[in-house]
Chains A and B, each alone.
Chain A
Amino acid sequence: MNTLELKKVCKIYEGTVSYQALDDMDFTVKKGEFVGIMGPSGSGKSTLLNVISTNDFPTSGQVFLLNQDLHRLSEDTLAQFRRSNLGFVFQDFNLLDSLTIRENILLPLALEGTPFSTMNQALQEISMQLGISEILERFPHEISGGQAQRVAIARAIIHRPSLLLADEPTGNLDSRASHDVLNILEQMNQDFGVTILMVTHDPIVASHCHRVVFIKDGRIYNEMYRGEKQQDFYHEILNVLSLLGGTRYDF
């Protein structure tokens, strides 16, 4: 079953010089998959993510999430749909400064009007899982980046979304914290069957995915499935990247 399906999605930015960011993109994500999207700067990664997250509208084509044509929905229904079916993890965490960690995590449930006891139970489970039970009463500026990203993940999946969108989730983290966060994402994917779509430009990060999609100039350039060994997958990714060219990757 497809969780996400893009059909002939085009995105053209009109301006003095119009620019085609997505070009007839066809793309599906199956339930339970962990998909990585890679590509050089300006390849259309962010646009793709924006279109999927309904923060931006495609010029033509359709986006289906759980067989629902997203861009046909009204603003408020869309918001409702988004918050019950999508989870977001951002590069800069996007935690609210005025809320404690507990409150940040519970926010999506609170907005839904979930009963308090259910909320608390969900919080306990997830915070145990992610190892953040100790810091629940702190404020975002009192915790480290790695912790903040774990909190963001907790917030993104506490309401059991159908799809978790991650935009460079390790972009602001050191290598150790990155590793932690990736392990958590993998664990969520395996243990809870969370479907994940992750944009990254880091080959190490990408090598944790089941499948990596490379895009260039708004089109799918290549697609690869992971084999048994992560190490091999990493090297394959590097090969594709060198073929993609355009950007040098330092790591």
Chain B
Amino acid sequence: MTFKQFALHNVLRNLSSYLAFFMASTVSVMVFFIFSVASFHPDIYVADTSTDLADLLTIILTFQYGCSLIFILYSFGTFLHRRWREFGLLRLLGITDLQLIKLMFLENILIGFISIISGILLGLLFSKYFFFVISMIFQFPVEFHLSAFPIWFTFISFISLFMSVSILSPFFIRSKNIYFLLTKSRKQSRQSKTSLIQAVSGITIILLMYGWLVYQIQNHDKLKRVASTEWLMYSGYNFYMDIAILIVITYLLFSQISMLGMTLLKRNSRFYFYKTNLLWISSLAHQAKQNVRNLFMSTILFTVSLAFTANLFTSYLYTAEQLLKEYLVPISYLSYPEDKHLQENINYIDTYLDQNEYEYEKVQTPILALNNLRTPWEKTPIAVLSNSNFNQLARFLGRAPISLEGKDSLELIWEGWGVNTPSMFHQKEMEVGGKKLNIIGTDDTPYFKFVAQIFYVLSDELYREVKSSYPTYTLVQYQIPDWTRLGDFSKQISKRFNNASAQLMTAADNFQGELVRNKTFFFIGSFISILFFIAAISFLYFRLFANIQEEREKYRNLTNIGLKRKEIKRIITRQLSIFFFTPFIVASFHTYLILILLNKKWIELAPFDKILQVLTIFGVIQILYFIWIRSKYIRMIFRYVDLGKS
């Protein structure tokens, strides 16, 4: 038997233990291949909508390669861990480092080769579907076109990936001595007891952190107005900080709560010493330390996958609502003082809407510009309007009217694009027409967009006094429930009315583009989510099967003592369901939190039922996976238990 044959036999005869590693690699190759076929597709560069897509695909390809590297390295690491005894034995028989590297290398190349081939074949199978959906989304035909290049590209990328993994792999085992390798797999780890103080402080931290997140959601507007928390609500770090908090919570949940739970369950002797409870609880507690790491990792991956899909799904569903939030109204027409065609243009729009039977409402608001509204980059644009006009507008937008006297004034701030905090625009003192205003309040919910940064609502008498000293602009805003169908009309009137004397803002002409973009993001995003999801369940899989030998011995002993099959099944089911579903449940809950945090300005854009749909789909996959793994696991245990019998 030559060395090469030895390596070959090692793989072929242990196929089942290589299976998980093999499947993980295959899926990575498959997804990479599909994306590379798409990014090197000639049609992608032809249509003008697709430049976005090409960029997106290239980014994803790089990102995915990095993830695959980490993922394959990790799965290989756990896989090696399972084989420590084998390596110890080889060491004992005098294998040299170089030979070990060679062995790893050959094995890896073999597995890598097979998984690349099968990954590409699977990829070919699925890319038809992928292209079908892509062409549906972009509404131009992308023929499935296969050139040799993506195949070579995938092949070379992954062969080199497997090679580098196999070159790194001996470092996993080199430093360990033979005794360690031979005995480590059977050595017991001391159970760590959690002190009460540690557990209590852990739980306190968790509760405080959750409390802060919920407080943030509920009091978003309030926090925006307190100087000390305002920067938090507006800085870009805000969301990342929440994510960091969630990660810490996840870790604490598993490390503290799980330990505490175990301790409490154990303390309740009547329950703990009741039938099989003793076995499954102690077994979970026994492996708690290693489990914590794995459960944490897979929870994070589940969360990424679920939150990613759910967010892209809701933003696709609510494309129109989101767009309208940005524009406030579907059509707004700002007429400059020199505009001679205001009435004529408004009539044009009205006529079109009437003829096509659109329901609509409009409001016309005269505005006095304190400085030039057309050059916002020179000076912050400031404008004033009268109390009665404001009330008209407020009613139009469904908000409360006010009444002002004398020099009282309400300050309205449009925060712009959310980069600057509203308080930055707040003026302590303001004069209009030589009269100092008495600012009675500030409102930063938008009444206007794109017109001026700051508005002052003046009492009608004051407004009349100052009216003649400033140029008058007129803003006409439309509410149209069916606005999304106005795409072509919006384009047409934008071209026609946007000139030196008027400015027109329409939401509908961006709608189609936005919708296609969100749809693409959703589709490609769910692809990547599936990758993360597979990574998460692989983590669980590796953890489970890394200990199978130990478990088999245990159940064999227990069978000798007289444990029934039924009871073994019950213990395994309980243990596995805790192992499989806690990460998923925690991840689902965190996904919901993340979505609300992402949409905290407009929570109605992250409705529970839509998120639940996403969670249900993934949940069903998880349940099927659980059923499969459970039966496989039980079969493996029973086969070993029966081995001694004839």
Contacts and interface: CB of A to CB of B under 8 A. Distances in A.
B278 A13 contact: no
Contact of A98 (B270, B276, B286, B563): B286
Nearest to B269: A116
B278 A79 contact: no
A83 B274 contact: no
B645 A76 contact: no
Interface string A65-91: 000000000011001111110101010
Interface stretch (A36-44, A100-108, A219-227): A100-108
A143 interface: no
B557 interface: yes
A103 B282 contact: yes
Contacts of A14: 646
A64 interface: no
B286 A97 contact: yes
Contacts of A56: 644-646
A129 interface: no
Contacts of B550: 97
For A14, A84, A107, the residue with the greatest tally of chain B CB atoms inside 10 Å of its CB is: A107
Contact of B562 (A57, A82, A90): A82
A82 B645 CA distance: 16
Contacts of B646: 13-14, 56-57
B638 to A, nearest CB: 11
Interface residues of A, number: 38
Contact of A111 (B191, B276, B560): B276
Contact of B285 (A88, A98, A140): A98
B286 A88 contact: no
B544 to A, nearest CB: 16
Interface string B255-288: 0000000000000011001111111001101110
B147 interface: no
A57 B563 CA distance: 18
A214 B521 CA distance: 79
Contacts of A79: 559, 562-565
A97 B273 contact: no
A87 to B, nearest CB: 9
A108 B562 contact: yes
Contact of B560 (A55, A113, A140): A55
A82 B563 CA distance: 9
A199 to B, nearest CB: 14
A183 interface: no
A234 interface: no
Interface string A1-39: 000000000000110000000000000000000000000
Contacts of A88: 560-561
Given A57-B645, A116-B273, A139 B560 contact: no
A84 B283 CA distance: 24
B158 to A, nearest CB: 40
A94 interface: yes
A90 to B, nearest CB: 8
A195 interface: no
Nearest to B275: A113
Interface residues on B, range: 20 to 34
Nearest to B191: A139
Contacts of A103: 273, 278, 282
A115 to B, nearest CB: 8
Contacts of B282: 96, 98-99, 103
A53 interface: yes
Given A98-B286, A139-B191, A83 B562 contact: yes
Contacts of A98: 282-283, 285-287, 554
A242 B191 CA distance: 50
A139 B188 contact: yes
A141 B565 contact: no
B566 interface: yes
A240 interface: no
Contacts of B645: 55-57
A14 B645 CA distance: 12
A66 to B, nearest CB: 15
A111 B561 CA distance: 10
Interface string A100-143: 00010011111111001001000000000000000000011100
B563 A111 contact: yes
Nearest to B560: A88
Nearest to A155: B561
Contacts of B187: 141
Interface string A133-163: 0000001110000000000000100000000
Given A79-B559, A98-B285, A139-B191, A113 B565 contact: no
Given A56-B644, A97-B286, A111 B275 contact: yes
Contacts of B561: 82-83, 88, 107-108, 111, 155
A232 B60 CA distance: 85
A59 to B, nearest CB: 9
B13 interface: no
A94 B557 contact: yes
For B278, B285, B566, B644, the residue with the greatest tally of chain A CB atoms inside 10 Å of its CB is: B278
A176 to B, nearest CB: 25
B270 A76 contact: no
Nearest to A99: B282
Nearest to A12: B646
Contacts of B286: 97-98
15 contacts: A50-B644, A57-B645, A76-B566, A80-B562, A88-B560, A96-B282, A97-B286, A97-B554, A98-B287, A103-B273, A110-B273, A110-B277, A111-B278, A112-B275, A113-B275
Given A75-B565, A98-B554, A107-B561, 5 more contacts: A55-B560, A56-B645, A82-B562, A88-B561, A96-B557
Interface of B: 187-188, 190-191, 269-270, 273-279, 282-283, 285-287, 550, 554, 557-567, 644-646
What 6 pairs between A and B have smallest CB-CB spacing? A83-B562, A98-B286, A82-B562, A79-B564, A94-B557, A110-B273
